[in-house]
Structure 1
Amino acid sequence: MAKILAVGGFGAGHVNPMLPIVRHWMENDDEVHFFCTEDMRQKVEAAGITFKAYPSFIDGQAQGEINFFQFVIILLKSADIILPVVLEEAAKHKYDFVFHDSLFGWGKLISHILKIPHIASHASFASSSETKKAPSAEPGLGKGGVLLEEIGQLAEALGQKYGVPAPTIPEVFSQWGDLNLVYTSRYFQPRPETLDDSYAFVGPVISTRQDPNDFPFYQLDDRPLVYISMGTVVSKGEDFFRLCLEAFPDPRFQVIVSAGKKADLSFADEAPDHFIFRSHIPQLDILKRTSVFVTHGGMNSTSEALYFNIPLVVIPHGADQPQVAARVTGLGAGIKLSPRNLTAESLRSAVDELMETAAYKTSAETIGLSLREAGGVQAALEEADRFRRLHGIPSGEVKQRT
């Protein structure tokens, strides 16, 4: 069968959607080598996939703390960190195609160097040269002009080193493929008409996870459930969690808070009985019971909530989160709050409005239906199988997934 080079992105949100697809290929006797940062080793190897590390290049910086131009520079510099590692290993193997994250890892460039076709995995909304525009260096962007000069120099050096045209900013930000798997629906994707037929909207990849089984489900009852998860953005401090305690003193709701593995949960001892704080939550099981989801607007979590028809309070901090929040609110499925102006009163008011206004639930159900009908893992496998046959790459049977 085929030998596949997989290049994952930075963080679980970029890796999780790729794993069920890769697992299926391996079940059909493909050989897959999965390159990613060391912190993803356990997750990848737990799926039975051969893991190979490339060095981390973000050094603990959160995307919300980096402006647009700084992030482009980080991505451009990452080429000299990632490419030598991947290409050294590729010289030992004859890969049939590349399966890569569309933002991190330089999969498009790797496929060009190796002269093999490639499939891009879009962990957020899809973008191409037609949809991804860089902001101009206006006075309000401070050092934008200086940073743009550095970006130009780095892009030119990269192009000369690997014998390709210097990548534009849209090309740095979106490594689109010969086939593009987008884990959302055409309905939820902004401006889908600007994307060509290489973009397949397969919906979120909802798959079984090996989550901890110590969650106290026995404590849940028939009260409306508010689930709060802000990713790793606020996991280093207590302020947001104390704000949640202040926002929901009334036990008419049950409130579950996913605090993150780095959070100090000692303060939770003073929480009232209708609160449950945990460092990790079996998210899919909780979402099935949730009435309102309070989130930072990460694409995976947002898609999973909408898949289960749940309206959202979105508090975006950075990266693609403002765009996700805009789409949620634009389609009437939630309310956006500013993290800078967030108060207990504004959070409680937003949750009350979502609970009391049926239109939000109806809009979430419309999006949810579009996500479920997109097909998920099965649709992604079928699109990949067509890609493989088109390029003369051996492919096993695409079995119906449950």
Structure 2
Amino acid sequence: MSHFGVLSYKGTGHLNPLISLSRQLVVRGHRVTFFHDAELEARIRPYGLGFSPIAAISDSIGENTWANRRQKPSSAIPILLYRVRRTINDMERFLRGAPQILAHAGVDALIVDELSFAGPTIAEILHLPYFVISTSVPHDFGWSAPSRIASRKSIFTRIQNALLEISVFRMKGPVRRRLDNFRRQVGLRPIRQIKQTFPELAHITQLPQCMDFPRSGLPATFHYTGPFVDEAARISMKFSWDQLDGRPIIYASFGTTLKGDPVIFRLIAEACDGLGVQLVIALGGRRAPEMFHGMPGKPLIVKDAPQLEILKRAEIVVTHAGANTVLETLMQGKPMIAIPKEFDQPAIAARLEWLGVAIVLQSTKLSAQEIRSALATILSDPSYRSAARGIQAKICAAHGLERAAELIEQSMERYREGFKRSSKAEPITWRETT
């Protein structure tokens, strides 16, 4: 059995699938420990997983101290600089703090979220085998989408999206320069050579193959699986089930990373009013329901919702096309209206349209009438539900969570067999860097 260390981005869309995958490994007899900021310990511990905090270390970025990080700017160029500095700061904290903690913990391998830029370098420093996990469309595939889906963006927005679209293997600009500077200090080659010098054992994505466009030339270590969903790995929460009145449910959720736009929620409420449906709006924990008092049609509005349970009852889901909501919706065979805004959302929405499971609307050209028309189309046209159920069958047959755990176990077994046949390589000695 193995002891796996997990390095994850702290967003819910990353934590939920990685917690589910970790629980699956624990069920199979392995030990799993998350390494992250202390604030996440209460989120991880209840699921029978280990947790080791990465202590806050004073950074060398000057103005990007922990105090200043809370003073987020509001205009385009300062926001871009803030995001770059924050990315660098988080990466360097882990590069300095994690190796010693991981070495002391005695992990056998690392499970690295694609957005944990420090992960592969830490693995190479400690000479640990590692796995890269994509919780959405892999960054190497790109996040492009047709213009009818992706809203027109300013040059600053395109630059910001380019920053967020990078993976550790496609890094460019100041983030890679700081990473390569660190790697030189510990005797490693530039990060762009890591695929040759110290590759991952496997790159696994929870994106099902049936949801991706046809591809060729993928490496043998790349694997599609399917959603990492474990209903037991969700926080229990109260919900006003008694307020559901029996009408078909339209469930609207725009995730937790971006605050739901009150204007969009009002447009959705106007669109549903008079259609003979009941609208349930989940605010993703980012806003208070009281802010939305007096919405048309009196929708049921909650700060947080037990999403997996509501999806089982929903007729249509209105979503930002975030990976977790989309995958969980398709696991229930439900059609969608997708209103992508940024990040990977347009790329996911393009796939939903291609599969015929959703109508995609642009957030910048949105009207209540447009949403209402989309709702009426899906309610009256059975092809959307039929397509969604077809994808549901493929996803369920793939057993994504179990398959991902099997791939990790099989790769570790091959690694150990190869390790026994070869001479043991000496790990690079960890040392504090300036």
Tell me, yes or no, if structure 1 residue 304 matches structure 2 residue 328.
yes
Q: Within 2, Cα distance between the matches of 1:10 and 1:367?
A: 29
- Give the deviation of 1:149 after TM superposition: 5.4
Identity %: 23
Q: Within 2, Cα distance between the matches of 1:228 and 1:170?
A: 42
Cross-structure match for 2:114: 102
SS in 2 for 1:378: helix
Q: How big is each residue's C-alpha offset from its partner over 1:9-46, in whole Å with a ceiling of 9 and x where there is no partner?
A: 23111111121332243345533321134453222111
SS in 2 for 1:306: helix
Summarize the Cα distance change of 1:132–1:167 in structure 2 as closer, same or farther, 3 Å threshold.
farther
Opposite residue 301 of structure 1, the aligned amino acid is: T
Cross-structure match for 1:396: none
Cross-structure match for 1:44: 44
CA contact (8 A) 1:97 1:116 kept: yes
SS in 2 for 1:41: helix
Tell me, yes or no, if structure 1 residue 85 matches structure 2 residue 109.
no
Tell me, yes or no, if structure 1 residue 119 matches structure 2 residue 131.
yes
Opposite residue 51 of structure 1, the aligned amino acid is: F
**Equivalent residues, number:** 381
Q: Mean alpha-carbon deviation: is it higher for 380-389 or for 46-55? A: 46-55
1:178 aligned to which of 198, 201, 217: 201
Summarize the Cα distance change of 1:9–1:275 in structure 2 as closer, same or farther, 3 Å threshold.
same
Bigger relative CO (Cα 8 Å, ≥ 6 apart): 2
Unmatched segments (≥5 aa) in structure 1: 135-139, 394-402
Summarize the Cα distance change of 1:226–1:20 in structure 2 as closer, same or farther, 3 Å threshold.
same
Q: Mean alpha-carbon deviation: is it higher for 243-252 or for 274-283? A: 243-252
Summarize the Cα distance change of 1:382–1:46 in structure 2 as closer, same or farther, 3 Å threshold.
same
Q: Within 2, Cα distance between the matches of 1:227 and 1:290?
A: 6
Summarize the Cα distance change of 1:266–1:41 in structure 2 as closer, same or farther, 3 Å threshold.
same
Unmatched segments (≥5 aa) in structure 2: 58-63, 145-153, 164-171, 418-434
2:360 aligned to which of 336, 358, 363: 336
Q: Within 2, Cα distance between the matches of 1:218 and 1:169?
A: 58
- Give the deviation of 1:232 after TM superposition: 3.1
Tell me, yes or no, if structure 1 residue 358 matches structure 2 residue 382.
yes
Matches within 5 A, 1:143-162: 150=174, 153-154=177-178, 156-162=180-186
Q: Within 2, Cα distance between the matches of 1:358 and 1:133?
A: 30
SS in 1 for 2:365: coil
Cross-structure match for 2:405: 381
SS in 2 for 1:252: coil
Matches within 5 A, 1:134-145: 141=155
Cross-structure match for 1:324: 348
Cross-structure match for 2:262: 238
Q: Within 2, Cα distance between the matches of 1:233 and 1:211?
A: 17
Summarize the Cα distance change of 1:242–1:69 in structure 2 as closer, same or farther, 3 Å threshold.
same
- Give the deviation of 1:237 after TM superposition: 5.6
Cross-structure match for 2:169: none
SS in 2 for 1:239: helix
Q: Within 2, Cα distance between the matches of 1:359 and 1:372?
A: 20
Matches within 5 A, 1:194-209: 194-209=217-232
TM superposition score normalised by structure 2: 0.77
Summarize the Cα distance change of 1:287–1:326 in structure 2 as closer, same or farther, 3 Å threshold.
same
CA contact (8 A) 1:108 1:118 kept: yes
CA contact (8 A) 1:237 1:263 kept: no
Q: Within 2, Cα distance between the matches of 1:391 and 1:46?
A: 31
Cross-structure match for 1:188: 211
Q: Give the root-mean-square deviation of aligned CA atoms.
A: 3.5
CA contact (8 A) 1:181 1:380 kept: yes
Tell me, yes or no, if structure 1 residue 228 matches structure 2 residue 252.
yes
SS in 2 for 1:310: coil
Q: Within 2, Cα distance between the matches of 1:69 and 1:133?
A: 22
SS in 2 for 1:215: coil
Cross-structure match for 1:399: none
- Give the deviation of 1:218 after TM superposition: 3.0
Q: Within 1, Cα distance between the matches of 2:247 and 2:289?
A: 24
CA contact (8 A) 2:270 2:296 kept: no
Opposite residue 390 of structure 1, the aligned amino acid is: R
Q: Within 1, Cα distance between the matches of 2:375 and 2:306?
A: 22
Q: How big is each residue's C-alpha offset from its partner over 1:255-292, in whole Å with a ceiling of 9 and x where there is no partner?
A: 11001323122244434676211111111111111111
- Give the deviation of 1:117 after TM superposition: 0.9
Tell me, yes or no, if structure 1 residue 288 matches structure 2 residue 312.
yes
More helix by share: 2
- Give the deviation of 1:50 after TM superposition: 1.9
